[in-house]
Amino acid sequence: MSGEPQKILILGVGNILYTDEGVGVRAVERLIESYDFSDNVILMDGGNLGMRLMQPLMDADYCIVLDAVLGGDEPGTIYRFTGDDLRKSLAFKDSMHQSDLVDTLIYCELVGKRPETVVIGMEPFDFKNMCVELSPTVAARVPAMLDIALKELADAGGIATPKA
């Protein structure tokens, strides 16, 4: 890789109109507000863009996805998924997501450029009621989610510096 640092995408996905389904987007917003990042890091609100995320994904070497995940544990539980476990992410039956992220990654692979991907997900408390605020349970756990994402970022060669 010619000494260049890998390109890292931190992607928050979810629908912010449905309470905790938007935790990934809210987490990316918090990162943008709180940190400056090295030039090899891009942060993106992926919302529910679905297949329109293909190009940003293909432009990245490594992708850290922040999302709400139905894993069956207590609300606020944080998960880390890679490989085949990615199917557990974005598993909402009532989701507004236009396309599953895993399917988008498969399409990226088919055209020859799929980034290595890790999902940092959080079990939602409420993802069915319309509200633009996170539930108190999930909001209280966002800092822990960010700590995990920042460790992933550092391990991948990205730098996050707290803003003054």
How much of the chain exceeds pLDDT 90, in percent? 60
Provide the pLDDT for residue 97: 44
Provide the pLDDT for residue 164: 87
Please, what is the end-to-end C-alpha distance for the chain in angstroms?
A: 33
How much of the chain exceeds pLDDT 70, in percent? 89
Distances (CA, A) of 127 to 5, 123, 142: 37, 10, 16
Contact 66, 10 (CB under 8 A): yes
Provide the pLDDT for residue 89: 53
Query: What is the reported pTM?
Result: 0.89
Q: Measure the CA–CA gap between 116 and 6, rounded to whole angstroms.
A: 11
Q: Average model confidence (pLDDT) for the chain?
A: 87
Q: Measure the CA–CA gap between 143 and 147, rounded to whole angstroms.
A: 6
Contact 100, 48 (CB under 8 A): no
95-147: pLDDT as tens digits: 344 346 777 887 888 888 889 999 899 999 998 899 999 999 999 999 999 99
81 vs 100: which has the higher pLDDT: 81
Residue 59 pLDDT exceeds 80: yes
Q: Measure the CA–CA gap between 61 and 161, rounded to whole angstroms.
A: 21
Neighbours of 121 (CB within 10 A): 28
Residue 92 pLDDT exceeds 60: no
